[in-house]
A and B are shown apart, each in its own frame.
Chain A
Amino acid sequence: MGASAEHTHAHGHDHGHHHEESFISKYVFSQDHKMISKQFLITAIFMGIIAVMLSIFFRLQLGWPGESFGILNFFLGDKWAPNGVMNGNAYLAMVTIHGTIMVFFVLTGGLSGTFANLLIPLQIGARDMASGFLNMLSFWFFLVSSIIMVASLFVEGGAASGGWTVYPPLSALPQAMPGSGTGMTLWLISMVLFVASSLLGGLNYIVTIINLRTKGMKMTRLPLTMWAIFVTAILGVLSFPVLVSAVVLLLMDRSFGTAFYLSDIFIEGQALDVTGGSPLLYQHLFWFLGHPEVYIVLLPALGISSEVISTNSRKPIFGYKAMVGSILAIGFLSFIVWGHHMYVTGMNPFIGSVFVFTTLLIAIPSAVKAFNYITTLWQGNIRFTPAMLFSIGLVSTFVTGGLTGIILADSALDVNVHDTYFVVAHFHIVMGMSAIFGMLAGIYHWFPKMYGRMLNTKLGYAHFWLTLVCGYGVFFPMHFVGMAGAPRRYYSYSEFGFLDWVMDLNPVISTFAIVGGAAQILFLFNFFHSIWFGQVATQNPWGSNTLEWTTPVKGIHGNWPGAIPEVHRWAYDYSNPEHEEDFVPQVVPLKAGEHGH
Chain B
Amino acid sequence: MKLLILLVVVLAIIAIAQLTKVYELTRSLRKTREEDISTADNKLQANLMLVWMFVFFASVIYLYDRYGNYLPEAASMHGAEVDYLMKINIWMITIVFFVVNALLFFFSWKYYYRKDRKARFFAHDNRLEMIWTLIPGVTMAFIIVYGLITWNNITGPASADAIQVEVYSKQFGWIVRYPGENKTFGSSTYNLIDPASNPLGIVTKENIKAKVDSIDVDIEKLKKAIEENQKLPIWPDSYVESQNEKLYRLERLKQRVLDINETQNPVTGMSEWEAGADDKVINTELHIPVGKEVEFIFRSQDVIHSAYMPHFRAQMNTVPGIPTRFKMTPTITTAEMREKLGDDTFDYILLCNKVCGVSHYNMQIKVIVEDEKDYLAWVEKQKSFVAPKEEPKKEETSSTTDSTATAGVQLKKPAAIAQKND
Contact = CB atoms under 8 A, between A and B. Distances in A.
Interface of A: 70-71, 74, 87-89, 92, 162-163, 167, 169-170, 173, 176-178, 262-267, 269, 271, 273, 275, 277-280, 313-316, 318-322, 344-346, 349, 352-353, 356-357, 360-361, 363-364, 367-368, 370-375, 377-385, 389, 392, 395-396, 399-400, 403-404, 406-407, 410-413, 415-416, 418-420, 454-459, 461, 465, 468-469, 472, 476-477, 479-480, 483-485, 487-493, 495-498, 502, 505, 518, 521-522, 525, 529, 533-535, 538, 541-542, 572, 574-577, 582, 597
B100 A361 contact: no
Interface string B61-89: 00100011011000000010110011001
A381 to B, nearest CB: 4
Nearest to A326: B133
B85 A459 contact: no
Contacts of A485: 70-71, 308, 310-311, 351
Contacts of A406: 89, 92-93, 143
B339 to A, nearest CB: 16
B253 A315 contact: no
Nearest to A576: B121
Given A349-B151, A407-B89, A383 B2 contact: no
Interface stretch (B110-118, B261-269, B410-418): B110-118
A378 B356 contact: no
A538 B124 CA distance: 32
Given A374-B107, A412-B151, A495-B364, A267 B302 contact: yes
B289 interface: no
Given A71-B5, A399-B100, A383 B37 contact: yes
28 contacts: A163-B355, A170-B356, A176-B357, A265-B302, A265-B320, A266-B302, A273-B249, A277-B321, A279-B321, A314-B113, A319-B125, A344-B316, A345-B319, A364-B140, A367-B136, A368-B129, A382-B113, A392-B108, A396-B104, A403-B97, A413-B85, A413-B86, A419-B308, A489-B355, A498-B311, A518-B9, A525-B13, A534-B34
Contact of A70 (B2, B112, B302, B358): B2
A319 B121 contact: no
A575 B63 CA distance: 42
Interface residues of B, number: 129
Given A177-B357, A279-B320, A316 B123 contact: yes
Contacts of B35: 385, 454, 457, 538, 541-542
Nearest to B301: A266
A265 to B, nearest CB: 5
A357 B24 CA distance: 55
A518 B160 CA distance: 60
Contacts of B253: 271, 273
A469 B111 contact: no
Most chain B beta-carbon contacts within 10 A, residue among A87, A380, A582: A380
Interface string B91-112: 0110011001101110110011
Contact of B360 (A316, A416, A491): A491
A525 B16 contact: yes
A410 B92 CA distance: 14
Contacts of A538: 33, 35
Interface in B144-185: 144, 147-148, 150-152, 154-155, 170-171
Interface of B: 1-2, 5, 9, 12-13, 16-17, 20, 23-24, 27, 33-35, 37, 41-42, 45-46, 48-49, 52, 56, 59-60, 63, 67-68, 70-71, 79, 81-82, 85-86, 89-90, 92-93, 96-97, 100-101, 103-105, 107-108, 111-114, 117-125, 128-129, 132-133, 135-137, 140, 143-144, 147-148, 150-152, 154-155, 170-171, 189-191, 193, 195, 201, 249, 252-253, 256, 298, 301-304, 306, 308, 310-311, 313-317, 319-322, 324-325, 345-346, 349, 351-362, 364, 395, 399
B314 to A, nearest CB: 7
